[in-house]
Structure 1
Amino acid sequence: MVEPFIPLESNPELLNNLSQSLGLASRVSFHDVYSLDDPSLLSFIPRPAFALLLVFPISDAYEAHRSAEDASLPPYEPTPDDGVIWIKQTIGNACGTYAVLHALLNSPSLEFAPNSLLAAFKNDLPSLAIPSRVAYIESSADLKSKHADVAAIGDTTAPDAFDDTNLHFVAFVKTEDGTLYELDGRRSGPLKRAVLLDTDDILCPVATKYVTQFMDREAEVSSPSASYLQFSLVALAPSFD
């Protein structure tokens, strides 16, 4: 059994440090998203935005939704020409790192440093079946080390790797062919949500409605103001400098 990781904060500085240590060479960064419908707050995020990372509570309402939707889907068998790289999560508390990998490996036109982990993953993973992808990620001592390095520098005291957490990361990405995917290693495969226009980025209303569905689901069973406090959102977009 693979040891769990220390959970990551949804902290742009931390996520940027992890991305750069993994080999991200493009001038893109993670930015806090404070609203999906206030133009003045959205204006602070450089555009186009490529991916969103949502942290949400794993509630009974979400688990019922996840189980029902996954049961309705055919088994996922990846092929090299899928146009998306999905990684099944088998490492406990590592959802933040899986979400970062899903965002970076599937956002078009990003550059990775030669001989970096991201360059190796981008080259190797598409040709692997799911069990081989799992073994590949689980055996990466470099990934474990780089995750541990950044998990220790958050704004709050890092929990123990063996602690149970009820918060989870999911990535939303617009791939090269314009497909909007929800990518979560706890699901049964990549979830194709929509096809976006060339002029649409990941913060367009067609895409963000899938983020707000997570919030609306919790608001139906609890106080909206209380449930919304458990969510956080960051966008992968061009850097300020």
Structure 2
Amino acid sequence: MPAWLPLESNPDVLTKYIHKLGVSQEWSITDVVSLEPEMLEWIPQPVKAIILLFPISENYEKHRAQEHEQIAADPGTFPDDLFYMRQLTSNACGTVAIIHSVANNKSISLSDGILKNFLENAKDLTPEERGKALENDVSFTEGHYELANEGQTVANPEEKVNHHFISLIHNGGFLYELDGRKQFPIKHGSTSDSTFVQDAAKVCKVFMARDPEEMRFTVMALTASPN
């Protein structure tokens, strides 16, 4: 598996990244400082996606294996307009999470450029083919490297990364976890535009409860840019 430089969970860097990809300046990535209900009210609205960065622990990998076994037996069906892709490039999870967050929100306008071209070319591909297309996309690779090098720490593509980005989005009245390391999208029950942030926060808390002694969790949101 080819390796990219890992992206930091830095909202300023990630905001610059989505704008470089062609996302309108009306949108940005912001920190979610607390998952408590009253604090979630302070996040700029509307919130289009929640992005979670979490440690890949032994507990999590055990859960992922069990979850895969259960879902593989009965994967169910998913909306035709749910954009899902596999992550076939090591350390590309930040980019995959951003693609999932933007691609599943049609109200986010894209200018001509890297992401719009990718989504147009990938719309009729399978999740695996989309992962391969990202791996072979020179523009995406160059943009990723440029932003990864702007982080606050020195990135090494050969260094083992023990954390992972995923995206939580709302589609058709349901909350979906989109993780390129998994074979399928994960449906986390019903949600709505008005309850999405609170519902996504509950999913994040489940991840945290799985590793109660871990502190390396970061939650961000794709939101309207502050005025």
CA distance in 1, matches of 2:97, 2:77: 18
2:115 paired with 1:122: no
Give 1:178 deviation, angstroms: 2.9
Among 130, 155, 158, the residue aligned to 2:154: 158
Among 167, 190, 202, the residue aligned to 2:185: 190
How does 1:18-57 map onto structure 2 within 5 Å?
A: 18-25=17-24, 27-37=26-36, 39=38, 41-57=39-55
How does 1:99-118 map onto structure 2 within 5 Å?
A: 99-114=97-112, 116-118=113-115
2:174 paired with 1:179: yes
2:164 paired with 1:168: yes
Query: Tell me, which stretches of 5 or more residues in structure 1 are unaligned?
Result: none
Among 198, 203, 207, the residue aligned to 2:200: 207
Work out whether residues 98 and 185 of structure 1, in 8 Å CA contact, stay in contact via their aligned partners in 2: yes
Work out whether residues 77 and 129 of structure 1, in 8 Å CA contact, stay in contact via their aligned partners in 2: no
- Which residue does the alignment assign to 2:217? 231
CA distance in 2, matches of 1:65, 1:188: 14
Give 1:199 deviation, angstroms: 2.8
Among 214, 217, 221, the residue aligned to 2:210: 217
CA distance in 2, matches of 1:200, 1:77: 24
Tell me which amino acid in the other structure corresponds to 1:6. L
- Normalised to the residue count of structure 2, the TM-score between the two structures is 0.92
- Normalised to the residue count of structure 1, the TM-score between the two structures is 0.87
> What's the secondary structure of 1:74's corresponding residue?
helix
- Worse overlay, 20-29 or 63-72: 20-29
Give deviations 1:39-68, integer Å, cap 9, x for gaps: 2x3343211211111111100100000001
Give deviations 1:59-97, integer Å, cap 9, x for gaps: 010000000101111386998x62211111111111111
CA distance in 2, matches of 1:104, 1:158: 27
- Worse overlay, 159-168 or 126-135: 126-135
Stretches of 4+ aligned residues off by more than 6 angstroms: 75-79
CA distance in 2, matches of 1:17, 1:134: 23
CA distance in 2, matches of 1:137, 1:118: 10
